Chains A and B, each alone.
Chain A
Amino acid sequence: MSGSPVVFVVDDDASFRRGITRLLRSAGHTVVPFASAAEFLQSHDPELPGCLVLDLAMPGVGGLELQEALSARGSERPIIFLTGRGDVSSSVRAMKRGAVDFLTKPVTESVLLDAVAGALRRDAEARAMRAARAEFRRRWDTLTPREREVLRHVVAGRLNKQIAGELGTVERTVKLHRSHLMAKLGVGSVAELVHLVDQAGGIPAG
């Protein structure tokens, strides 16, 4: 599902849209333009990596409305807003709702390309994060309840002896569980284990 990232451009002004698209393509990006938010939503695939360059003022569904709609669908695609007028209240709203950047037209290539690069990086990071989490979750599901318990204690920093005492078993059993769960999770050390759990956002409940 992942491939090279796409820059989605949504702007109702045809000539401006063409100009931006050309500029981005000339810098090597893959660009898919849309003339309206509705068109974009129709064919939106949240699995496609990439970011969104979005005009703020559009008839019908405007930029801010589209931002809300995407967030309602659970999409975390980074959005860069473009606007012909620097309206403070709109920019604050946009940023509070998670926009990556808020640029004014006319926009120079360095500003735009930097913003897009940043957005794509954020998107890549977020995806990596999500993938890691998903992977962890998958592996977590392969752990036995005992192994999960041991994991909790290990991540809490307890020694094998203490864990054995907590669980009412012997140290050797604890060591066995430890090596099993480390193998299942694909980590080689406690440090790596802690790091993995951290990245995954913590130990899942249950």
Chain B
Amino acid sequence: MARLAFAALVCGGAGSAGCEIAMMRAETLPEFTAALRWIHLPVLVLVAGSVMFLRLYFGVGRLWLIVAAIGTRLVAVIVNFATPTGVSYRSVTGIHQIEWLGQTVTVAEGLPNPWAWVARASSLLVVAFAVDVGVTFWRRADPTDRRRAWSVAGSIAFFGLAAVAHSALVQLGVIESPYLISLFFLVPVGAMGAELTNDVVRAADLSRRLRESEAQAGLAAEAANLGTWVWDIAADRVWLSDRTRELFRFPAPVEPTLGQMLEHIHPDDRDEVRRAVDQALTGENDLRVEYRIPNSANTVLWVLSRGRRDGDKDGTPVRMRGVSVDVTELRRAEIDARSRLNELAHLSRVALASELSGSLAHELNQPLGAILSNAQAMRRLLARPDADPAALRAILDDIIADDRHAAEVLQRVRSLIRRSEPLAETLQVGDVVRDALRLVRAELGDQGIALETTLEADLSPVQGDPTQLRQVVLNLVVNAVDAMAATPPGSRVLQVTAGRGDAGSVEVRVTDRGPGIRPDLLDRIFDQFVTTKERGLGMGLTISRTIVEAHGGRIRAWNGAERGATVAFVLPASGKGQA
């Protein structure tokens, strides 16, 4: 619309210039006065055009000034055509030629018309309006834009003032010159032309840069095999790049709704994706969600999507734009790695079980021996006439208890040897430690090792696989036992503690009184194949570290102040920082 106003402005200017030239070349009075009269039409268009242009281009300006300027100009035009001589002169007395700028031009003299002040008022109102617009815009705009204010509005104001002043002076006979408003008109035209050209150039530049950056982004996305997408939230339509379309298996170019996209996702993952999208819309964080897309070949693609919302001025989400990438390979590698860890952990457990087999057998022989002795004692007692039923019952109770004890030991051995998928249970670290220690009780007894356990009560529960964690404790204890093989019998002490760590985490420490870990091995002790023992692969601590880290924890080792070494691992409380 601003352009229309500008066109009107320019036409008005051109029309006025035409009339002024006609006046300058008029040879008879009637020619002159006719031109003088008709000029007011293009001037009206000029006035209306400039005022509307200012308003539309800058978007500010008092409406009443617009109405007043155009209104007064209309009145002047009506008067102009209603009266025989027009609004500029009450009567034109005569014309004559003068030399002006090397040309012969016609000028007139006559009695000025008081109604001309209406016309002048209109022009002044235009000036006032231009100033108003200019100042208001100047105040509100940022410094780079302010130039527009004074160049456009200022030039129109200047033109208005110059036109009024000059034509008044001519009409009042103060100076002798042809009407020249179209000359003054060149100033605003020049200014506006410059501004418009500037805008066009800038727009072209911006558009070029935009295309370049789009091309860059497209290149990057292609290189990374990313699919991009933009979701128009209000209209619920998603623009998909070709890659995204491929990922989602949309057959043809289409802009689906969010619902339609969800239908292409694996049914089990839809809720999670919906929740993640909602959170990203209302919460602080960007969208980040992984899900499966069923493939036609009876497999699934794993896809990771990340996105960010754009809000409008009020912060209402308007758009979300993001990328989606195929992470199937990564996921498969992860699953592979995990299953390999499982296998390794299992093998290591079996090795541990075989190392402990002697003491495990002993562990079983205790209850079995007790059962046998009790049963045989009972048989003898029954052969007597004075058998006491209460005593006999006590014997049977013991037999039952011992049987249960033996069954427990077998169960623990079985769980060591069994190959199973890791569980994610909520467990008490204290129980895990106690179970592990029961398996090695006999070993400790054999070696004459005194055991000191301190298991704090009220420790936070921990999320994990009890078999694997027991394995870690067993590994550390067996290492400690081996370390003390050469320690004098009286000072073989093994300390096992479970206590609170930072932030509710749980720490388990196994301390021995052996010779300690060799300082040059201390920081490599968890690496593969590092061992100071003659037997074994040196994998026990490595696997222990992998298990602990898979549970979101950390393991470390250090030497005691005087003698011995401690190996400790920390596990986060359930619900925090799970891997």
- Contact A19 B448, CB 8 Å, known A65-B489, A85-B358: no
A24 to B361 CA separation, bound complex (whole angstroms): 25
Q: Are A27 and B361 in contact (CB under 8 A)?
A: no
Chain A interface extent, by class: 20 to 34
Q: Are B362 and A16 in contact (CB under 8 A)?
A: no
Instruction: Tell me, yes or no, whether A20 is within 8 Å of chain B by CB.
Output: yes
- Across the interface, which residues of A come within 8 angstroms of B450, CB to CB? 59-60
Q: Are A15 and B365 in contact (CB under 8 A)?
A: no
Instruction: Tell me, yes or no, whether A109 is within 8 Å of chain B by CB.
Output: yes
Q: Are A26 and B377 in contact (CB under 8 A)?
A: yes
* Residues of chain B in range 67-92 having any CB-CB distance to chain A below 8 Å: none
Q: Are A15 and B445 in contact (CB under 8 A)?
A: no
A112 to B489 CA separation, bound complex (whole angstroms): 30
Q: Are B372 and A84 in contact (CB under 8 A)?
A: no
Q: Are A57 and B446 in contact (CB under 8 A)?
A: yes
Instruction: Tell me, yes or no, whether B368 is within 8 Å of chain A by CB.
Output: yes
A16 to B406 CA separation, bound complex (whole angstroms): 12
Instruction: Tell me, yes or no, whether B371 is within 8 Å of chain A by CB.
Output: yes
* Residues of chain A in range 1-60 having any CB-CB distance to chain B below 8 Å: 12-13, 15-16, 18-20, 22-23, 25-27, 57-60
- Across the interface, which residues of B come within 8 angstroms of A84, CB to CB? 361-363, 365-366, 369, 442
Q: Determine which residue in A19, A65, A104, A106 has the highest number of CB atoms from chain B within 10 A of its CB, and name it.
A: A19
A18 to B401 CA separation, bound complex (whole angstroms): 12
A106's partner among B359, B372, B378, B489 (CB-CB below 8 A) is: B372
Instruction: Tell me, yes or no, whether B533 is within 8 Å of chain A by CB.
Output: no
A83 to B381 CA separation, bound complex (whole angstroms): 26
Residue of A nearest to B448 (CB): A62
Interface string of A93-104 (1 = CB under 8 A from B): 000000000001
Interface string of A101-126 (1 = CB under 8 A from B): 00011111100100000000000000
- Contact A23 B366, CB 8 Å, known A57-B445, A106-B372: no
Q: Are A15 and B376 in contact (CB under 8 A)?
A: no
B380's partner among A15, A26, A106 (CB-CB below 8 A) is: A26
A65 to B450 CA separation, bound complex (whole angstroms): 15
Q: Are A23 and B380 in contact (CB under 8 A)?
A: yes
Q: Are B366 and A105 in contact (CB under 8 A)?
A: yes
A15's partner among B381, B405, B444, B446 (CB-CB below 8 A) is: B405
A150 to B368 CA separation, bound complex (whole angstroms): 64
- Contact A19 B377, CB 8 Å, known A13-B366, A59-B445, A108-B372: yes
- Across the interface, which residues of A come within 8 angstroms of B359, CB to CB? 85
Q: Are A19 and B380 in contact (CB under 8 A)?
A: no
* Residues of chain B in range 367-422 having any CB-CB distance to chain A below 8 Å: 367-374, 376-378, 380-381, 395, 398, 401-402, 405
Given contacts A18-B374, A20-B370, 7 further A-B contacts (CB under 8 A): A18-B370, A19-B369, A20-B369, A23-B376, A59-B450, A84-B369, A85-B359
- Can you report 19 residue pairs joining A to B where beta carbons are below 8 Å apart? A15-B366, A15-B401, A16-B367, A16-B369, A16-B370, A19-B369, A19-B370, A20-B369, A22-B378, A57-B446, A59-B449, A84-B366, A85-B365, A85-B442, A106-B365, A106-B368, A106-B370, A108-B376, A112-B373
